[in-house]
Chains A and B, each alone.
Chain A
Amino acid sequence: DVKVTQSSRYLVKRTGEKVFLECVQDMDHENMFWYRQDPGLGLRLIYFSYDVKMKEKGDIPEGYSVSREKKERFSLILESASTNQTSMYLCATTPTGRGETQYFGPGTRLLVL
């Protein structure tokens, strides 16, 4: 079974803090994705990575950056957290870039005060 873990289930941060969300997968998948999910808006892609040190912007990259130094780990960074980044953050992986099934982590619910 593919296992995708996220560093925290719940996180509370203050405005202006730098926030790190980590995602780790154990199946040697090439592609990893970060989404945010807000009520009524569905899932929106923030960034994704198709190889170590490679990244692509998604639909809403502003205010975020990512890091992929090792194949199994994909980090989402909020450089200076703002209240409008309060959301559910979901990480996903897929074996290659051919559009197969994505495997999701349990999600991190982030509250920025």
Chain B
Amino acid sequence: SQQGEEDPQALSIQEGENATMNCSYKTSINNLQWYRQNSGRGLVHLILIRSNEREKHSGRLRVTLDTSKKSSSLLITASRAADTASYFCATVRGSTLGRLYFGRGTQLTVWP
């Protein structure tokens, strides 16, 4: 019962380029979160956007949310090799005791 689906599954770019990852989901949400996972490690929270917000920024990250299309995007500007990781979106529904519904992730590779 994954909620989110990331697109693309894999993305390969050069340093300095922008990376855009998309996430679609099926049901109404309270918020949507993006996480990053370096190979073989735990996940690290990047940004949370609430259902009444349309855009949010954090450093080189920009997240948009379109609840009418049930989709979100994560933009990483001026990518660096250190941004190489898997990126996951996760959604929070109504009264679900704080559980997240994760997508399958996008593997981003940034070449020096």
Contact = CB atoms under 8 A, between A and B. Distances in A.
Indicate, yes or no, whether A interacts with B.
yes
B77 interface: no
B44 A109 contact: no
**Interface of chain A, helix or strand or loop or mixed?**
strand
Contacts of B31: 99
Interface in B80-112: 88, 90, 92, 96-100, 102-105
Interface stretch (A13-21, A61-69, A76-84, A100-108): A100-108
B104 A45 contact: no
A101 B2 CA distance: 18
Contact of B30 (A33, A94, A99): A99
Interface stretch (B13-21, B35-43, B52-60, B63-71): B35-43
B43 A104 contact: yes
Bin the interface of chain B by size. 20 to 34
Contact of B98 (A42, A99, A104): A99
A94 B100 CA distance: 11
Contacts of A28: none
Bin the interface of chain A by size. 20 to 34
A42 B105 contact: yes
A106 B41 contact: yes
B41 A48 contact: no
Nearest to B47: A101
Interface of A: 4, 31, 33, 35, 40-45, 48, 50, 56, 58-59, 88, 90, 92, 94, 96-107, 109
